[in-house]
Amino acid sequence: MAIRVAVLVVCCLLASVGAVSFLVAPGASDPDPAEFDRTVAMGLTLEEQRTLGERVVPRAQIAYSQYPYLVGYRGIGLAAAAVDDPLVSQQFGYPQVVYVETAPPDVSLDDSGFLVGEYTGEWIPAAEAVFVIDSAARIPSGPTPVAFNEEDRAAAFASTHGGEVVGWEERGRFEAPPSDGSDARDRIDAQHAAANETVDSAFELLDRPTGTVVGEDAPTLSAALENAEAGTVVRLPPGTYRGPVEIDRSVTLSGEDAVIVGDGNGTVVTVSADDVAISGVSIAGVGESLQPEDIPDEDRSDWDRQTEAAYGYSDAAITADGVDRLLVTGAAMDTPASGIILRDTQGAVVDGVRVNGTDEWRDGFMGVVTIRSPAVIQRSTFDGGRDGVYTHRSDGIVIRNNRFVDGRFGTHFMYTSDGLFSGNCASEQALSGITIMTSPAGNAIADNVITDTEQGISTSGSDSYIGGNVVVDTDQAIRTSARNSLYADNTVVGNAVGFRASSVFPTSVVVRNDVADNDRHVRATSGPLRVWSEGEEGNYWEGAEGLDRRYSPTDPVDGRLHRTEAARTLAAAPIVRGLRTLRGSVPGMRGESVIDAAPRDTPVHPDRLETARRIADGSADPGEVCAA
């Protein structure tokens, strides 16, 4: 059997040799610039592009010697940083030529510093251009150099908008946004601290004097709310109370073994006032409508209207719209639609709630929906339904220490940047523990436990941190499709596929991860070589212990080292060593592969690895691990 495996692998290797071709022929001339829309474009989130509208972003494009496509950069500083990045050169070869687009004639700046004009489509080699740096010109991520084809034009721009005229050789002085995920990682402690302040402020709403006791001072809950004095508590003794109701003044609704029951049509509790708290109540009788017809036609983009129509106006246990400082704590709700909907709500805290959704996720909706509402959602349980938390343009949201069970997505980020998803436990999700869509930037996905899902962590966008997570028993644990991001200190155990490398132009750092007991440690889709190590820092790969060379989890032989002894024997064979050297040196033979230049002999986090293995074999409960 071992001999058959060896022969099969050698045949596969030999077939791959015959199939490859050089990406860039020796002596080939530099490629011409392309229309920007035909490049592999980087820089700016989709939301930033939408915000800019018709305004102009200085652009560049680079042809790399070992990459078959031109790479476009929205931001000249980003391109300048890539030119001198050794990791970029290692993966994609040297920059054959760099083109920059000249600024529009009579270019001006708006009040935000964005360039006003039209794209010229005039691309010139960067070495022939002149640049204005340190001016008032900006893109959403910060200051930007502006390129000109004539020094007189550059000088005139600098005279009007400030700055200094320099050449391409001064590109080390160009400002570029941070692009390695470190900002998102380093922001975690401060973001937790800010969230704590938001929580403390919201919990002050519980320290109010009792003003009304339902059943004593008012016959019904509706009557109590209609007559309550602002700044007081409306108290619900144990019992069942009829809804729906509206809270239109700043009061605290506090219950103990109290249940508010709607009539099965619409939302049960609507909040339309600032400084409202809802504590210790259960809510039932929520309507079943997921997309009501009566939706305000507000002056927003078509996408906003479509999103709100699709997700933000379903029936719910609690809906708040356009309010400041809201606390929902210690509440439980059964819902065939959504649990809590927050639209344009600031300073909201959802704490210690339980949302029980539908048994079949396709029949229900979201545990919490946030539309332009950067809430703090913590210490809660979301069981069933579609998505535990769905976010839309809720930049800076904090979702921490929650449990997500038996839904579609544990959390679903849409157009949401700079969020924090930390300390959560997601299990038995139909599709993924957390999914980040629409190319946002700066999100931190840290210290979560995700088990028994189709996908563990599915990322997109850029400048994010995915670190310290434990992902066990999934079809695909972590997708590394976010650009310029940091994937570090994750424990990936017992999955069909550990990591999926899927970026067309991969620029992320993947280090200090423990990867073990997976059917396949890595699956790489179309794209060039990925180098998953930085300097002397690599990852721990089960099966690669004791190697005195680079390790490639996508290699036909290396990828089997953790599964069969025959692979280790074959890996030492002279023909395989020769083919490995060839594959590492010939550009056309390096596609769809991952290499760790400094594989570790021992795990980075051995205790966490052991815990993950116990979860995988069923001797540890994920919920207990999360609670710990």
- Together in a domain, 23 and 105: no
Contact in structure between 213 and 239 (CB atoms under 8 Å): no
The DSSP-derived string for 144-196 is --EEESSHHHHHHHHHHH--EEEEGGGGGGS-----SSHHHHHTHHHHHHHHH
Whether omega before 33 lies within 30 degrees of 0, making that bond cis, reads: no
DSSP state of 198: H
Q: What are phi and psi of 589, to 5 degrees?
A: -105, 5
Listed residues 154, 177, 200: the one ending a domain:
177
pLDDT at 19 over 50: no
Question: How does pLDDT run across 82-117, given as a tens digit for each residue?
Answer: 999 887 888 888 999 999 999 999 899 999 999 999
Burial 533-555 (b: 16+ CB within 10 A, else e): bbeeebbbbbbbeebeebbbbbb
Burial 199-238 (b: 16+ CB within 10 A, else e): beebeebeebeebbebeeebeebbebbeebeeebbbbbee
pLDDT, residue 298, reads 62
Contact in structure between 364 and 382 (CB atoms under 8 Å): no
- Together in a domain, 62 and 145: yes
- Write out the residue range of the structural domain in which residue 565 sits: 1-30+555-591
pLDDT at 441 over 80: yes
Q: Tell whether 540 is covered by a domain.
A: no
- Together in a domain, 23 and 126: no
Q: Which of 228, 602, 560, 199 is nearest to 400 (CA)?
A: 199
Listed residues 177, 194, 223: the one ending a domain:
177
pTM: 0.90
The Cβ of residue 351 has, within 10 Å, a number of other Cβ atoms equal to 19
- Together in a domain, 133 and 13: no
Q: Tell whether 528 is covered by a domain.
A: no
Q: Tell whether 574 is covered by a domain.
A: yes
- Together in a domain, 41 and 16: no
- Together in a domain, 74 and 19: no
pLDDT category, 506, cuts 50, 70, 90? confident
- Together in a domain, 23 and 36: no
pLDDT at 534 over 70: yes
| From 6-20, 289-303, 439-453, 561-575, the region with the lowest mean pLDDT | 6-20
Question: How does pLDDT run across 580-608, given as a tens digit for each residue?
Answer: 554 554 444 345 689 999 999 999 999 99
Question: How does pLDDT run across 218-277, given as a tens digit for each residue?
Answer: 999 999 999 999 999 999 999 999 999 999 999 999 999 999 999 999 999 999 999 999
User: In the predicted model, what is the mean pLDDT of residues 423-443?
Assistant: 95
Length of the chain: 628
d(CA 502, CA 480): 6
Contact in structure between 337 and 358 (CB atoms under 8 Å): no
CA–chain centroid gap for 371, Å, is 17
Helix axes 574-585, 2-19, angle to 10 degrees: 30
* 91 vs 625: which has the higher pLDDT: 91
User: In the predicted model, what is the mean pLDDT of residues 393-407?
Assistant: 97
Q: Which of 350, 356, 343 is nearest to 328 (CA)?
A: 350
| From 292-296, 436-440, 532-536, 569-573, the region with the lowest mean pLDDT | 569-573
Q: Tell whether 446 is covered by a domain.
A: no
Q: Tell whether 600 is covered by a domain.
A: no
- Together in a domain, 5 and 133: no
pLDDT at 18 over 80: no
Question: How does pLDDT run across 139-163, given as a tens digit for each residue?
Answer: 988 999 999 999 999 999 999 999 9
Handedness of CA 118, 120, 126, 131 (dihedral sign): negative
The Cβ of residue 12 has, within 10 Å, a number of other Cβ atoms equal to 11
pLDDT category, 567, cuts 50, 70, 90? low
pLDDT at 51 over 90: no
pLDDT category, 172, cuts 50, 70, 90? very high
Q: What percent of the chain has pLDDT over 90?
A: 75
Q: Tell whether 157 is covered by a domain.
A: yes
- Together in a domain, 130 and 155: yes
d(CA 158, CA 250): 53
- Together in a domain, 6 and 20: yes
Q: Tell whether 457 is covered by a domain.
A: no
- Together in a domain, 37 and 168: yes
Listed residues 177, 192, 220: the one ending a domain:
177
pLDDT, residue 495, reads 98
Residue 306, burial from CB neighbour count under 10 angstroms (0-12, 13-18, 19+): exposed
Number of domains in the chain: 2
pLDDT category, 178, cuts 50, 70, 90? low
- Together in a domain, 129 and 24: no
pLDDT, residue 25, reads 43
Q: Tell whether 111 is covered by a domain.
A: yes
Q: What are phi and psi of 510, to 5 degrees?
A: -125, 105
Q: What percent of the chain has pLDDT over 70?
A: 88
pLDDT category, 577, cuts 50, 70, 90? low
